Amino acid sequence: MKNIMKAIEKTVEVTPVGEQHPALLIHVRPLTPDGFSSFGSINQNPNAAIIDGKLITRPDTKANRSGPGWQCWSPIAESILVTGGIVGLVETESVSGYITIPGMERERSPEIQQPLDGEIVLVVAPGKNPNNSEELPDASLAETFLIPQNTQVTLNPGIWHYASLAVNKPFGEKTTYVFHVDPRGEATESPRPGWIPFSKEQSLELFIKKLPEGTEGWITQERPGHLGRRRDEKFSEWNGRYDSGNWRLVNVDQNDRLWTIEEIVFNVYAESYAAYFQDHPKEADWIVNNFSHAYELDEYPVPVERATDLYRTYNQPGIPNQFHAVALNYALMYLLNKPFKGNKPLRVYPADEGKPPPEGEKWHPGRIPCLPKYLELINNLPDVSRWYSDTTTIEHFYQATKALQVKK
């Protein structure tokens, strides 16, 4: 599977462990006709960017509408795709990390969107009656799709949506997209104009991965492998030896390619979990039919709303890194489209010494085969296996690529 999500640098606000975070967390899905059918349609041979035989470009005039990270020129032409419609152009800055979605809008007419020079993500939710001024968007039904460059999507009338966001570009770089809509049905003319907050005091967050950094200027000093509960002790040791700010713990493969933790979790781990459950469908069905989500350590419970929240229990002082349950949840929910239906969480962790194994022990990362396309990137790295013995697993990919680097 290809990378589903990438994006740019942004400070990530981490919810302290133990605090209940009310926001529902969603991730970007790949765009497919079946997956998008509830919201609209896809045209793989688009012409939304062509007006009178010419490609639409950004006007030289000042934008007549703007918001956080975007500006809009509308109208710039008459639409031949939407009856009585106009064409507008939006320039949006790339985003990553946790993105708060404060509300949505909708149109009475169809709306066509097409990115011109990059990829965008489109956040949508189903709507019932665009003429009902009392209707609110439902955050629990929201979904997000990655729209490739030059792919045209048509939203059905009444579909709730947020402003599309640029991704897969460095921080501050921009992507433009065009839209076609009947201005008589725009949000500003709706019974309830503007951005409408979600129903039932809901809040919604979207998580988008960061682009990987480079390794230039750094040299690998050692491959420490599994740290576990020794992590804070080792960090203190390295601070004393190299000075804080002169070292970093990252994941680097044998080709000196740096892997972000988002890539490891949502690509290496999640894709491998998905492949495993595709080969073991009865196990997948048993998990989603009997449990609400997977977690790792009893002393650090994770609410179901944050079941795919990587940073809740990653790189937190005094807490062992925990992310394989996030990957398992993400694989079932987003890669295999298997929503959880149970009422209790499943602990996915190796057996504690002297205690019976958890119900999810067989799915811990030291048992899940790593996809060959990722294993071939670590064949020449040192064997750092300790608590696990199988060097063909996703756990081994994470531990083998772990590198202590110091500034040159």
Going by pLDDT thresholds of 50, 70 and 90, the confidence category of residue 193 is low
pLDDT recorded at residue 387: 64
Considering the chain, what is the average pLDDT of its residues? 84
Q: What angle do CA 7, 10, 14 make, to 5 degrees?
A: 110
CA atoms in the 13 A half-sphere facing the CB of 94: 21
Residue with tokens 């005094």: 318
Domain ranges of the chain: 24-208, 218-407
Going by pLDDT thresholds of 50, 70 and 90, the confidence category of residue 184 is low
Can you tell me the mean pLDDT for 203-224? Answer: 82
Residue 223's Cβ-count burial label (10 Å; 0-12, 13-18, 19+) is middle
Cα separation, 293 vs 273, in Å, equals 14
pLDDT recorded at residue 253: 93
pLDDT of residue 9 exceeding 50: no
pLDDT recorded at residue 95: 81
Going by pLDDT thresholds of 50, 70 and 90, the confidence category of residue 54 is low
pLDDT of residue 297 exceeding 90: no
pLDDT of residue 10 exceeding 50: no
pLDDT of residue 392 exceeding 50: yes
Can you tell me the mean pLDDT for 281-309? Answer: 92
407 neighbors 241 (Cβ within 8 angstroms): no
The residues with which 65 forms a beta bridge, in sequence order, are: 72
User: Strands 70-78, 152-155: parallel, antiparallel or unpaired by DSSP?
Assistant: unpaired
Residue 229's Cβ-count burial label (10 Å; 0-12, 13-18, 19+) is exposed
Going by pLDDT thresholds of 50, 70 and 90, the confidence category of residue 383 is confident
pLDDT of residue 6 exceeding 60: no
Percent of the chain clearing pLDDT 70 (strictly above): 88
pLDDT of residue 100 exceeding 90: no
Higher pLDDT, 170 or 407: 407
Cα separation, 83 vs 382, in Å, equals 64
The answer to which of 105-119, 199-213, 274-288, 326-340 has the lowest mean pLDDT is: 199-213
Higher pLDDT, 107 or 331: 331
Can you tell me the mean pLDDT for 291-308? Answer: 88
pLDDT recorded at residue 115: 92
Can you tell me the mean pLDDT for 386-390? Answer: 72
85 neighbors 181 (Cβ within 8 angstroms): yes
Q: Which CATH superfamily is domain 24-208 in?
A: Ureidoglycolate hydrolase (2.60.120.480)
Can you tell me the mean pLDDT for 126-147? Answer: 87
Going by pLDDT thresholds of 50, 70 and 90, the confidence category of residue 342 is very high
384 neighbors 397 (Cβ within 8 angstroms): no
Higher pLDDT, 174 or 56: 174
Cα separation, 280 vs 276, in Å, equals 6
Can you tell me the mean pLDDT for 50-55? Answer: 66
